Chain A
Amino acid sequence: MSAETKTQTRYEYGGDEFVFVELSESMTLEAMFKGMAITNKLAEQNREGIIDICPGNASYMIRVDPEVLHPDELISVLKEIEASLTDYEETTIHSRLVDVPILFEDPWTYEALMKFRVNHQDPDSTDLEYSARINDFESKEELIQNINDFPFLVSMVGFVPGLPFSFQLTSQEKQIEVPKYVRPRTFTPERAFGFGGAFAVIYPVQGAGGYQLYGTAAAPILDVEQKLEDFKESMVYFRQSDILRYRSISMDEYERIRKEVEEGAFRYRTREMSFTPKDVMKNPEEFASKVMRRLYDDQR
């Protein structure tokens, strides 16, 4: 691997229990895949003293018991792993493709975003209109179409339990990038679909938030009671390396899915797929269409 990227890596202490490693200041697929490879290798080592391994977007974080594993010792291990990563672009990633139904321009996020207009950079338009304009789309419909057309890779889970930060698999020129609210909202509805920086997210529970609001996900992404089949093993559904296709749905389909959720019958449509970072980085859009064919069994 290139020497330039290595010198950019910053190793920092997060108090005495955390080591924070920034691979890149800007969001890139390369940084994300690299972080994924490093954290996977560290996990395989099963080292004593490690409490949490948290892969991030363009960084990652490890929590330790510093009396068992000194953070300096961990940092030298991490540096070794990074130096040994000659082939991470070729490493196979086993991923899950998930169809995620979204009702865009729904009444609930619309009500929330109108209530917090004074916190926004452009109080006179909606979040979708504003985002479409600053990203040079002709209309908000075109922006929604773009989100529909290219799937997103989950690059980090966090903020609150289960919230997926997802990054669109398309060339950087076509990537949507939007600022966060000038002042965060004190309220965001449950399952709101939002966008901030280069990331699309779904808020698992209602709460504060600063991302632009575009819609609402029909199905839950956090199920504390673990009632739905998809949540039997974990109350959190998404994990890093999942590929999500945010599919625009009608109010009819939204209501149908809500009913399925209430009856406990809802299951996400998923398919398995293996790929290497190289497959994605070489031509993200070609990879995206492969994902779509696989997820919908070529029937689109």
Chain B
Amino acid sequence: MINVKEPGLMTTVQDNGRNGYYSFGMPPSGAMDKYSFIVANLLVGNDENAAVLEATYLGPTLEFDCETTIAVTGGEIPPKLNGEPFGLWKPVHVEKGDVLSFNFVKSGTRVYIAVAGGIDVPIKMGSRSTYTLCGIGGFEGRALQKGDLLKTGEASNPPASTEITLSEELIPKYGNRHEIRVIMGLCSYRLTEESKKKFFDIEWTVTPDANRVGYRFKGEPLEFVEREQPFGAGSDPSNVTDLGYPIGSIQIPAGIEPIALLNDAVTGGGYATIATIISIDLFKMGQIKSNDKVKFIEVSLDEAIEARKELNGKLDKVKETIKTVSIGG
């Protein structure tokens, strides 16, 4: 059992996500930064898809009632065990009664806390991920609260050696300025040529209205091509006949502030979508904070698929390191 002494700002149970129900209007949810999420699981000997805790900005305080192994990855929210700082991206042995807590966020936004065996909550529609908007999955469908008691499952493999050090290239660094790759398309024909160009020229600022549903950006207004609105679309030039929104798609209601939809997205609606963040950079979005600056970079589909392969290559290296160290040790 894990006793939640302090919940942090927004700490939820997440796994790889609830895939296959998008046509019901059910977003996938799941860990936002999948790379950090998978590495955390690998370090404690879990399946890649085991449920972990995702904490945003402010880490929780957790007390463990039995001996186990944990790993903290993701944004630099420095973890402490019984007040003693320890490193992220490493498995750490905890004893019964040990207390995990965190210092203030230094960089990035979200930490992932994996526990050997995974967080054991009921599987809802194929996933343990929390979708707070409708109260589905996770721990009682909500973010953690003080006094919650979390169960853990059985680990599938022994944890990695606590001696392990992942090489620099395998540990992401998070700054305050980001480049996010997108594929232009969907309803981008609705933007004027000038505004399409502007969309890529502007350095956008992430507003405080940035959560698991989506991030809203401030910059300059963009303009849509004037037209007589088609039947069913609604009257604003940014309106289209209600359609599906891909995860990562970017819309600009009334041309004012772009919104990028993320893991807990609304699955459809009546705003023109103009571009989609590539799947690998959705992981990066999970580490972007309010007030950070974002520039969107246009890439091709093949570049996006290449980026997936690169990331898989990185994960293979993590697995390799874990294997080598455990054999060597």
Contact = CB atoms under 8 A, between A and B. Distances in A.
Direct contact of A and B (CB under 8 A): yes
Interface of A: 12-18, 20, 22, 24-28, 51-61, 63, 66-67, 70-72, 156-163, 165, 167, 172, 175, 177-180, 182-184, 196-199, 204-205, 207, 210, 222, 224, 234-236, 240
In this complex, the member of B185, B233, B246, B276 whose beta carbon has the largest number of chain A beta carbons within 10 angstroms is B246
Contacts of A15: 182-183, 246-249, 276-279, 304
From B25, B269, B276, residue with most partner A Cβ within 10 Å: B25
Contacts of A184: 253
A22 B309 CA distance: 29
Given A16-B279, A26-B230, A156-B268, A52 B22 contact: yes
Contacts of A159: 25, 242, 266-269
Contacts of A63: 19, 22, 246
A27 B231 contact: yes
A72 B301 contact: yes
Contact of A14 (B186, B230, B239): B186
A160 B266 contact: yes
Contact of B305 (A22, A60, A67): A67
A17 B246 contact: yes
22 contacts: A12-B185, A12-B186, A15-B276, A20-B186, A25-B240, A26-B231, A54-B244, A56-B242, A59-B241, A59-B244, A70-B305, A72-B301, A156-B242, A158-B24, A161-B24, A180-B235, A180-B239, A180-B270, A196-B242, A197-B242, A222-B134, A236-B25
Contacts of B23: 52-55, 157-158, 240
Given A16-B308, A20-B273, A66-B305, 19 more contacts: A12-B186, A15-B276, A17-B247, A18-B246, A20-B243, A24-B241, A25-B230, A25-B240, A51-B20, A52-B22, A56-B242, A57-B241, A61-B243, A158-B24, A165-B268, A179-B234, A180-B235, A196-B270, A198-B232
A72 B308 CA distance: 17
B236 interface: yes
A277 B134 CA distance: 34
Contacts of B136: 161, 224, 235
B327 interface: no
B276 A18 contact: yes
Interface of B: 19-26, 125, 133-136, 141, 182-183, 185-187, 230-236, 239-244, 246-249, 253-254, 266-270, 273, 276-279, 301, 304-305, 308-309
Contacts of B247: 15, 17-18
B232 A58 contact: yes
A197 B232 contact: yes
B244 A56 contact: yes
Given A18-B276, A52-B22, A67 B308 contact: yes
A67 B133 CA distance: 31
A173 B26 CA distance: 34
Contacts of A160: 25, 133-134, 266-267
Given A26-B231, A159-B267, A197-B233, A165 B242 contact: yes
A22 B239 CA distance: 14
Nearest to A240: B23
Contacts of B24: 157-158, 161-162, 234, 236
Nearest to B256: A183
B185 A16 contact: no
A157 B186 contact: no
B233 A25 contact: yes
Contacts of B266: 158-160
Contacts of B233: 25-27, 197
Contact of A158 (B19, B240, B254, B267): B267
Contacts of A12: 185-187
B185 A14 contact: yes
A13 B301 contact: yes
Among A158, A196, A240: residue with most chain B CB under 10 A: A158
Given A12-B185, A57-B242, A158 B133 contact: no
Nearest to B188: A12
Contacts of B242: 56-57, 156, 159, 165, 196-197, 199
B246 A158 contact: no
A198 B305 contact: no
A159 B251 CA distance: 14
A284 B67 CA distance: 68
Contacts of A158: 22-25, 244, 266-269
A161 B131 CA distance: 11
A36 to B, nearest CB: 12
Contacts of A57: 232, 241-243
Contacts of B185: 12-14, 20
A119 to B, nearest CB: 12
A62 B240 CA distance: 19
A28 to B, nearest CB: 8
Nearest to A60: B244
Contacts of B231: 26-28, 172, 175, 177, 198
A246 B325 CA distance: 65
Nearest to B269: A159
A25 B25 contact: no
A157 B235 CA distance: 22
Nearest to A121: B235
Given A51-B20, A158-B267, A234-B24, A16 B305 contact: yes
